[in-house]
Structure 1
Amino acid sequence: MENTLITESQTEITHEKSTNTTSKKNSYLYPLILITSLFFFWGFVHNLDPVLIPHLRKAFQLTDLESSLVDFSIFIAYFLMAIPAGKIMKKYGYKSGIIIGLILFASGAFLFIPAADTQMYVFFLGALFVIACGLAFLETAANPYIAILGPEETATRRLNFSQSFNGLAAFIAPIIGGKYILSDTVLSDAQIQAFSAAELQQYIANEAASVKGPYLVLGIIIVLVIVLIAFTKLPDIKENAQENEKSTLLHAWKHKHLRWAVIAQFFYVGAQVCILSFFIRFIVVSAGITEKEAAFYAGLAGLAFMLGRFAGTFLMKFLKAHTLLMIYALLSMLFTLVAIFSSGMLSIYSLILVAFFMSIMFPTIFSLGIADLGKDTKMASSLLVMSIVGGAFLPLGLGYISDITGNIQYGYIVPLLCFFIVFLFAKFGWKPKY
């Protein structure tokens, strides 16, 4: 009888635990969907850059180095805002950080309208800087939030899944941007330089005005998302006693695998920005096609990026995350080499394959970098978001090499070296040390 009562009691406890687990999963489902949508929106605005760079380059007659300031203005904002974002979230929570980020995001999108009216390149850079300040908040909040919305053992797969919608945006954005931003009129540099002052002013006005519509619509959509999140109850993720202990950037920096992750993320983001931001410019030169045609292939690169994320999420069921990262880094190096020294469709397909294989790098480096950090997790998240500043500086190197050699393909030596650093992290630096 006593054994029967114990068995029944154990059964009730097991059933109660199962019910609580199911209830917890259900309570996380809608927030997971909502936060995952943010990955799509910041992916969309980032992947308008490959269209925006050649468009502004042509409109304002910029060099490759000057046009790379688009990326600089975006990714320097990540560096400047990552620590404030982390501190605000530590004090006020993830939801507040997300809403602040979305407000800045929408504000920057609306600033494209006066930027187009002024017809000055620097104002476009300013609008992009404001957008990126918002994205710094969103990425600082959303990445660790996704990681903790479920079991710790599936955090890397869950983050890769959410980041896959960033890849979906990478497919859609260049196609939409190519349709509504890039001009049907293809003029050579010589033709533009032959314009009179009045003709040049009108040309710049027409080119600048084409960005108004896409960014106005994007801003309105983000305002709607702000309203939706503001009136949605997100789970309040409680920190345990260890996480409530005081943490500093210096304390977090003592973790060797985090230091490795910050370095790897710096170079990976630089590589991604180089590959994707200059994709249209690259294949126009290497394959001799028009910018509108190139925008279609940029969309295919985005599709490959998305499929690579889904494939990586699936393969992580069978391979350890660091092993898959190492394989993908090697393949990215291989196809970057092919793209540098080939031409025609082979150069296009090689870059599309690079987009596929680099797809898992950001979320995988991020999740490996914050693994087992306890109270240092939020500060580590800020450091990893700060490392996105690689996207500001490394494209400048690409632009400089392109300008001095007269061949943008040679500039892609920069992302080739970046993928090598990621390989070293996956091979040697990922493992937490105690």
Structure 2
Amino acid sequence: MAGPISSGAGVTATHNPGTRYGPALALLASLFFMWGFITVINNTLLPHLRSVFELSYTQTTLIESVWFIAYFVASIPSAKLIERVGYQKSLVIGLLIMAAGALGMTVAASIPSYGVTLVMLFVIASGITLLQVAANPYVAIVGKPETASSRLNLVQAMNSAGTMLAPLFGAYLILGRSKGGTAQGDVVLTQAERLADAQSVILPYVIVAAVLAVLAIVIARFPLPAMGNATQRHNKEERKKHSLWNHRNLVFGIPAIFIYLIAEIGVANLFVNFVSQPDIANLTHEQAGRYLTFLWGGMMVGRFAGSAIMQKFDAGHVLAAFSVGAFVVMLVTVFTTGPVAMWSLILVGLFHSIMFPTIFTLGIKGLGPLTEEGSGLLIMAIAGGALVVVQGWLADHYGLQTSFLLTAICELYILFYALWGSKTTNALPDQQVAAE
């Protein structure tokens, strides 16, 4: 009989060798797909809202800032909710919150209202935060502990699949059905055209809400394996003996995640507007939205390639090489024009691909019983995406192309972290698997 098992994330469960975890893992992978999909819809939604509400780049990127502020605001309440009602109910609640926000987006489109749009996107992002806090540790323990990394990589690949397909969905159902999305370059819309364009958002968000509601019903009725907490008290007592701030790799890893998110989100959110410019690719927003698929597809390919490369080379060295590559292509983006600038910006997706998971892994290395708290701080650092508004301000005052110098600067911090900041100090032994 198996005893309590403690995962690397600080979550515990009782593993039963006779239990089939494949169906549960497949269902949970669909959650990773959906929140990746919904998050990246924003990349096509932002240029659409910019023309509908006649927004500046600062106001446009503020939309994404509100999205990532939700990660910071909702993460601790999410953890408390999970402790109170359990993981399965929390997954259902998270999906229903997202569905409510999606329906709220249809209300915002009907009015139309920039303020209501911000509120509804915050609601959707709060639901995704709850799913993130609940699903990540759950996936780590659904099955044999020795294959936890394999399972996490699998669901992350599904997340990448969602991010790759979302631009096609958004380009076809949002940009492709709107006057602003099919016009060449920036266009000034009449009041009637802006109202019609705003309402083009209704159908895609009704579809999203329906899928989320169905998924919530399926998860509510699905017999997910129960998670235990037999070793939780021991872990809490053990953690009191150590300090997170004695670990250099975590201390510098938190700002590394924060800064990386500024770079990733800035590129994705301003991509459509950038490549649509006459001196870059001179595309409509709909056409540019389709090219966004290559950016996210590069991230998916890069994750598979990076995983194979790290089997033979040190993760920190691989991260350093990718950060140098990202820095170079961002300089090409800033100082060239035409297709070269467009494809260099697309190529940065390939170099960004391994950054988040690699920084995260290096950040929690050697934390031992402090792994759970360290992981929580790194997840909260995702709120760094909210500072994409800084790039919006730079675009308004110095030009959209020049604003990508901020991305290049972010890559330099990742290089610093890879070469020095990620080195472990005061490493603790990993948590052990306990069994009778």
Which bin holds the TM-score, normalised by the shorter protein? 0.7 to 0.9
Normalising by structure 2, report the TM-score: 0.85
The aligned length equals 404
Q: 2 CA distance for matches of 1:278 and 1:235?
A: 42
Matched residue, 1:345:
339
| 1:157 Cα offset (Å) | 5.3
| CA pair 427-36 structure 1, distance change in 2 beyond 3 A | farther
Query: Contact 2:262/2:385 (CA < 8 Å) preserved in 1?
Result: yes
Matched residue, 2:126:
133
Normalising by structure 1, report the TM-score: 0.85
Q: State the secondary structure of the residue aligned to 1:258.
A: helix
Amino acid at match of 1:424: F
Query: Contact 1:97/1:137 (CA < 8 Å) preserved in 2?
Result: yes
Amino acid at match of 2:402: Y
| 1:340 Cα offset (Å) | 1.3
Query: Contact 1:112/1:124 (CA < 8 Å) preserved in 2?
Result: yes
Q: 2 CA distance for matches of 1:320 and 1:119?
A: 51
Q: State the secondary structure of the residue aligned to 2:276.
A: helix
Q: Write out aligned runs for 1:107-256 (5 A).
A: 107-149=100-142, 155-156=148-149, 158-182=151-175, 183-184=178-179, 185-186=182-183, 191-192=188-189, 195=190, 200=191, 202-239=192-229, 240=231, 242-245=234-237, 251-256=243-248
Instruction: Give the structure with the larger helix fraction.
Output: 1
Amino acid at match of 2:260: Y
Match of 1:297 among 283, 291, 294: 291
Q: 2 CA distance for matches of 1:410 and 1:159?
A: 37
Where does the alignment leave 5 or more consecutive residues of structure 2 unmatched?
A: 1-14, 427-436
| 1:69 Cα offset (Å) | 1.1
Q: 1 CA distance for matches of 2:151 and 2:418?
A: 19
Q: 2 CA distance for matches of 1:432 and 1:28?
A: 34
Q: 1 CA distance for matches of 2:159 and 2:353?
A: 10
| CA pair 320-295 structure 1, distance change in 2 beyond 3 A | same
Query: Contact 1:398/1:414 (CA < 8 Å) preserved in 2?
Result: yes
Q: 2 CA distance for matches of 1:376 and 1:134?
A: 26
| 1:160 Cα offset (Å) | 3.5
Q: 2 CA distance for matches of 1:149 and 1:425?
A: 32
Amino acid at match of 2:255: I
Matched residue, 1:262:
254
| CA pair 181-257 structure 1, distance change in 2 beyond 3 A | same
* 1:32 lines up with 2:15 in the alignment: no
| 1:228 Cα offset (Å) | 1.7
| CA pair 261-190 structure 1, distance change in 2 beyond 3 A | closer
Q: 1 CA distance for matches of 2:272 and 2:297?
A: 15
Q: List per-residue Cα deviations over 1:7-31 (Å, max 9, x = no partner).
A: xxxxxxxxxxxxxxx9749633333
| 1:373 Cα offset (Å) | 3.4
Q: 2 CA distance for matches of 1:356 and 1:205?
A: 38
Amino acid at match of 1:230: A
Q: State the secondary structure of the residue aligned to 1:236.
A: coil
Match of 2:271 among 253, 275, 279: 279
Q: 2 CA distance for matches of 1:291 and 1:103?
A: 31
Query: Contact 2:264/2:352 (CA < 8 Å) preserved in 1?
Result: yes
Matched residue, 2:11:
none
Question: Equivalent pairs: percent with the same residue?
Answer: 35
Q: List per-residue Cα deviations over 1:27-75 (Å, max 9, x = no partner).
A: 3333322222211111111111111111010111111111011111100
| CA pair 156-121 structure 1, distance change in 2 beyond 3 A | same
